[in-house]
Amino acid sequence: MRIHPDFSYNGIAANEIIQWKRGDFADWEQPIWQFMHDWLTEGDTIQVQTSGSSGQPTVWQVKKSAMETSAEMTANYFKRFNRTTALLTLPSVYIAGKMMMVRAMTQGWTLTAIAPSVNPLMAVNQAFDFAAFTPMQLATLSEEQWAVLAKFGTVIVGGAAIPESLRTRLAERCNNVFETYGMAETLSHIAVRKVSPQNTPFETLKGISLTVDSEQRLQILAPYISPEFIQTQDVVQLLNPTSFFYQGRFDRMINSGGVKLFAEVIEKKLEGIMNQPFHISSLPDEVLGRRLVLYIESETELDEGKLKAQIAPVLERYEVPKEIIAVKSFERTSSGKIKQIRN
């Protein structure tokens, strides 16, 4: 498989990397070595997997040529070509980390990789042309780290919704941060929008077209992946074939007494109020069909009346949970996402 002659990894030139063995890499780098090894060996497919945040992790084979095309689309969109300095902070087990590797290898980037952590910028004191983070990695930046981040050329953020408090801070402190939309099945992002105080729509990368089904679930046509539309479970407001507003997961839509409620919309409204991990779900109800439930990670008993009074002002009448339940500890994926409780 093609590797750009300008590519380097942690100071190792492309022609030298081919000669390196597994034992030449640190323990945390083993998945990176394995991916580079698999990329450079014979065969036109490579294995990828989902994170498992909304179900069991899924593993399947994808064409390397499709990953190359996706990498080229991102490089063209952000105008990041050979000799781009890039920072890899994401686990290369999942598609986001793998695609950072593919972009670097095929576009000739100068890649610096550090051990994945909740706060990777603790180990960084220089700016890069391009970097990708999850919202969790940016949630606890120090003032010094914010100053470093503001100097980055392009920052993309994905993997989870950006909390409103973090979105505000990013918009205030940086003018180079983009929120991404995508999934493992689309080989990372297929649409982006600049992080700003305004609620702007996602815009697709060149070559991607969109439609929706009868339930307003997004369908994606990415010819480099498949000639067929990729069916998602994401409900959107489609503005045209290349732009949309994201509303929420169809499988997290709750029909309560005939009112359709999106758990993610409610969670976003509560982000500025809740100081403990939480998520919205539902339980069966004889009258409503499903009743809205707020799960909060807490080892102590909750004052439900006080909490409802606290959250009611930021919610519509139908969005106020009928029940609030304390959970000692949420289950989480290996990437730190809460596994939602569903009944």
Give tens-digit pLDDT for 158-184: 988 888 889 999 999 998 999 999 998
pLDDT of res. 301: 87
pLDDT tens digits, one per residue of 64-116:
999 999 999 999 999 999 999 999 999 998 899 999 999 999 999 999 999 99
* Contact by Cβ (8 Å): 159, 96: yes
* Contact by Cβ (8 Å): 280, 265: no
pLDDT of res. 332: 85
Give CA separation, 85 vs 10, 33, 52, 78, 272, in Å.
11, 20, 31, 13, 35
pLDDT of res. 71: 97
What is 257-327's CATH number, 3.20.20.370, 3.40.50.2300, 3.30.300.30, 3.40.640.10?
Answer: 3.30.300.30
Res. 52: pLDDT tops 60 = no
Cβ-based burial of 215 (10 A; exposed 0-12, middle 13-18, buried ≥19): exposed
CB-side neighbour CA atoms (13 Å) of 52: 12
Domain ranges of the chain: 8-205, 257-327
pLDDT tens digits, one per residue of 244-262:
999 999 988 999 999 989 9
Query: One fold for both 8-205 and 257-327?
Result: no
What's the average model confidence in pLDDT over 141-156? Answer: 96
Please state, for a pLDDT cut of 70, what percent of the chain lies above it.
97
pLDDT of res. 341: 85
What's the average model confidence in pLDDT over 185-202? Answer: 94
Please state, for a pLDDT cut of 90, what percent of the chain lies above it.
73
Closest by Cα among 263, 268, 297 to 280:
263
Cα Rg of the chain, angstroms: 21
- Topology (CATH) of 8-205: Rossmann fold (3.40.50)
Tokens of 218: 């997004």
